[in-house]
């Protein structure tokens, strides 16, 4: 267990390593674990997770101070901690039990880009909100089974198709979460809840507009005019549904798009700055470092390291002809 804890030190440190139980991991790519027991951790300075964390509380209470605000999550609650969340303090009681997954951002981005049957607002809920969703006992059992299957899969290092297997189990987890949220939000409420249905519709249209115009339009006024609503009303809907201010959401999505572009070796950093309508490369560099914690160049270098680690840890076997090519 000591060796495993060293391997997953960066994600697990948020919860205090003494409480981390069964673990499955691929270095710098994805990990999953069970947490049992209590702890109280205060950070001397805000801690920003490198990984996107999904937390499913099974028993007890989890208290976290995020971006200076306190959040509490009780039994049968799901939440996620995006990579832009600044964590000041984390506490959970002695009877606390939870299941946690931590994934590199590229895993979720790849799923949304290449296998995306999900409603548009699901990405907002999974990627940009740390408000807790309370699920039924039945739904929690489904999600718990998904995460435990992921742990088992991650520990199966000898499987010939280990990478595909791990990816599939994580995809199943996201799909089940999307189904539960779709049943809750996507079908709408009874007809007398017209305001709720309208706000959900506006949020979806807003996200669709973001996908189309995020490269060049950063002002909320633009999107409000397109949706024929006031800037104030749109801001209220976004904050209510995602628990993230609209301006911060737009900046975060632009940072994610920048990260996606940085994975393309054919695009120079200067070209990316131009594509995202920054006045110059320096302005882009400051923006990206503010949101990602590292410069665009260092981020691009870290991607090469992550890819190399992934290839080594998933035991990809190539035919001799391919190895020699």
The confidence score (pLDDT) of residue 18 equals 59
The fold for domain 194-307 equals: Arc Repressor Mutant, subunit A (1.10.10)
Most confident of 41-50, 81-90, 139-148, 201-210: 139-148
103 within 8 A of 32, measured Cβ to Cβ:
no
**Looking at the predicted structure, is the pLDDT value of residue 307 above 70?**
no
Q: Which residue has the tokens 């400051």?
A: 286
In the predicted model, what is the mean pLDDT of the chain? 75
The confidence score (pLDDT) of residue 285 equals 92
The yes-or-no answer to whether 2-186 and 194-307 have a common fold is: no
The confidence score (pLDDT) of residue 315 equals 36
**Predicted confidence (pLDDT) per residue in 163-185, tens digit:** 788 888 888 888 888 788 777 76
The confidence score (pLDDT) of residue 143 equals 93
The confidence score (pLDDT) of residue 323 equals 36
Residue 58, both tokens: 């099974």
* Close Cβ partners of 33 (under 8 Å, ≥ 6 residues apart): 8, 12, 20, 21, 22, 23, 24, 99, 100, 151
**Looking at the predicted structure, is the pLDDT value of residue 59 above 90?**
yes
Give the range among 92-96, 106-110, 131-135 with minimum mean pLDDT: 106-110
Question: Mean pLDDT over residues 272-294, rounded?
Answer: 88
Query: Whole-model pTM?
Result: 0.60
Q: Which residue has the tokens 């198709």?
A: 161
**Looking at the predicted structure, is the pLDDT value of residue 121 above 60?**
no
**Looking at the predicted structure, is the pLDDT value of residue 1 above 50?**
no
What's the rounded Cα separation, in Å, for the pair 141 and 135? 10
| CATH classification code of 2-186 | 2.60.120.280
**Predicted confidence (pLDDT) per residue in 226-264, tens digit:** 888 888 888 888 887 776 788 888 888 888 788 878 878
Most confident of 2-6, 46-50, 111-115, 200-204: 200-204
The confidence score (pLDDT) of residue 282 equals 92
The confidence score (pLDDT) of residue 272 equals 93
What's the rounded Cα separation, in Å, for the pair 226 and 206? 9
Question: Mean pLDDT over residues 176-203, rounded?
Answer: 63
Question: Mean pLDDT over residues 3-30, rounded?
Answer: 55
Q: Name the residue with higher pLDDT: 85 or 171.
A: 171
**Predicted confidence (pLDDT) per residue in 108-117, tens digit:** 666 666 665 5
Q: Name the residue with higher pLDDT: 34 or 306.
A: 34
Give the range among 96-100, 109-113, 114-118, 222-226 with minimum mean pLDDT: 114-118
Question: What are the boundaries of each domain within the chain?
Answer: 2-186, 194-307
**Looking at the predicted structure, is the pLDDT value of residue 25 above 80?**
no
The confidence score (pLDDT) of residue 145 equals 94
CA separation (Å) from 81 to 46, 101, 127?
A: 14, 10, 8
The confidence score (pLDDT) of residue 283 equals 92
* Close Cβ partners of 219 (under 8 Å, ≥ 6 residues apart): none
The confidence score (pLDDT) of residue 45 equals 76
């Amino acid at each position: 267990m000591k060796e495993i804890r060293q391997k997953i030190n960066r994600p697990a440190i948020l919860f205090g390593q003494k409480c981390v139980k069964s673990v499955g991991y691929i270095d710098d790519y994805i990990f999953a674990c069970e947490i049992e027991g209590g702890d109280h951790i205060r950070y001397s300075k805000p801690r920003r997770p490198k990984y996107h964390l999904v937390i499913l509380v099974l028993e007890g209470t989890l208290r976290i101070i995020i971006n200076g605000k306190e959040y509490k999550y009780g039994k049968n609650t799901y939440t996620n901690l995006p990579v832009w969340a600044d964590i000041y303090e984390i506490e959970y009681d002695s009877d606390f039990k939870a299941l946690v997954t931590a994934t590199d951002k590229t895993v979720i981005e790849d799923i949304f880009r290449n296998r995306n049957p999900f409603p548009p607002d699901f990405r907002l809920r999974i990627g940009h909100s740390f408000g807790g969703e309370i699920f039924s006992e039945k739904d929690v059992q489904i999600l718990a089974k998904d995460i435990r299957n992921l742990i088992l899969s991650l520990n199966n290092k000898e499987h010939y198709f280990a990478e595909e297997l791990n990816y599939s189990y994580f995809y199943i987890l996201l799909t089940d979460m999307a189904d539960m949220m779709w049943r809750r939000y996507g079908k709408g409420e009874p007809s007398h809840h017209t305001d709720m249905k309208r706000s959900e519709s506006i949020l979806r249209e807003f996200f669709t507009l973001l996908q189309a115009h995020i490269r060049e339009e950063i002002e909320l006024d633009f999107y409000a005019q397109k949706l024929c609503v006031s800037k104030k009303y749109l801001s209220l809907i976004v904050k209510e549904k995602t628990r993230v201010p609209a301006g911060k959401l737009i900046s975060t999505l632009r940072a994610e798009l920048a990260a996606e572009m940085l994975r393309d070796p054919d695009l120079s950093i200067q070209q990316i700055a131009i594509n995202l309508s920054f006045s110059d490369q320096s302005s882009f560099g400051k923006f990206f470092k503010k949101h990602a914690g590292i410069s665009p160049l260092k981020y691009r270098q870290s991607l090469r390291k992550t890819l190399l680690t992934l290839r080594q840890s998933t035991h990809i076997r190539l035919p001799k002809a391919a190895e020699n090519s």
